[in-house]
């Protein structure tokens, strides 16, 4: 079994949709990024790649590559899962935390979990998403950005699937 940790942060800007965990959250600002800016999925991807010692999201999906401009981070997550499986790693679980002062994210977390579980081909009880604030402290507390961190677990499988 392997464990990886991922972290991502993006600034909030007007004129972009706010996408977290593959869910568009109604809010007047969105996360700036080359893809859809989904900091939650980016943290999960980094955790998964780290667990397999395969580098980070920027190595596999560089922001300098126009193919990834505006792309759905759910697609990046699915590609990462496929990359891991090709190297004989199976995702066994994800635990992630979004750090945002606003908007209130709790109504959207069940759908985020469902989309992540479906993309990772995991039972829902293997995907945890939580949200917290910084109680007004720092750039997140001022509403300038959103961060996410994730822990991901993998297990190696053989030709029999174990």
Residues 36-43: what's their mean pLDDT?
Answer: 98
**For residue range 134-154, what is the model confidence (pLDDT) as tens digits?**
999 999 999 999 999 999 999
Q: What is the pLDDT of residue 103?
A: 97
Q: Which of 11, 32, 34, 21 is nearest to 96 (CA)?
A: 21
Residue 26 reports pLDDT greater than 70: yes
Q: Does 59 reside within a domain?
A: yes
Q: What is the pLDDT of residue 160?
A: 64
108: CATH? 3.30.1330.50
User: Strands 127-132, 89-99: parallel, antiparallel or unpaired by DSSP?
Assistant: parallel
Q: Does 36 reside within a domain?
A: yes
Q: Which domain holds residue 50?
A: 2-156
Q: What is the DSSP string of 19-54?
A: EETTEEEP-SEEE--SSS--HHHHHHHHHHHHHTT-
Residues 39-59: what's their mean pLDDT?
Answer: 97
Query: What percentage of residues in the chain have a pLDDT greater than 90?
Result: 95
21 token code pair: 């965990």
Q: Does 45 reside within a domain?
A: yes
Name 9's bridge partners: 147
Q: Does 161 reside within a domain?
A: no
Q: Does 162 reside within a domain?
A: no
pLDDT band of residue 25 (cuts 50, 70, 90) is very high
- Global confidence as pTM: 0.95
Residue 162 reports pLDDT greater than 60: no
As for how many domains the chain has, the answer is 1
Spatial separation of the C-alpha atoms in residues 8 and 30, rounded to whole Å: 15
Spatial separation of the C-alpha atoms in residues 116 and 12, rounded to whole Å: 22
Largest CA distance in the chain: 52
pLDDT band of residue 158 (cuts 50, 70, 90) is confident
**For residue range 61-109, what is the model confidence (pLDDT) as tens digits?**
999 999 999 999 999 999 999 999 999 999 999 999 999 999 999 999 9
**E strand or H helix at 156, and its extent?**
strand 145-156
Q: Does 18 reside within a domain?
A: yes
């Amino acid at each position: 079994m392997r464990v990886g940790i991922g972290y991502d942060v993006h600034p909030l800007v007007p004129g972009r949709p706010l996408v977290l965990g593959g869910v568009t959250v109604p809010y007047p600002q969105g996360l700036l990024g080359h893809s859809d800016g989904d900091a939650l999925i980016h943290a999960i991807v980094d955790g998964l790649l780290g667990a397999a010692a395969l580098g980070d999201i920027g190595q596999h999906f560089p922001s300098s590559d126009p193919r990834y401009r505006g792309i759905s981070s759910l697609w990046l997550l699915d590609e990462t899962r496929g990359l891991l499986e090709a190297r004989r790693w199976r995702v066994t679980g994800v635990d992630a935390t979004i750090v945002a002062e606003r908007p209130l994210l709790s109504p959207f977390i069940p759908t985020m979990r469902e989309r992540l579980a479906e993309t990772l081909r995991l039972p829902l009880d293997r995907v945890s998403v939580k949200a917290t604030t910084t109680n007004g402290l720092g750039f997140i507390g001022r509403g300038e950005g959103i961060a996410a961190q994730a822990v991901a677990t993998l297990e190696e499988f053989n030709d029999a699937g174990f």
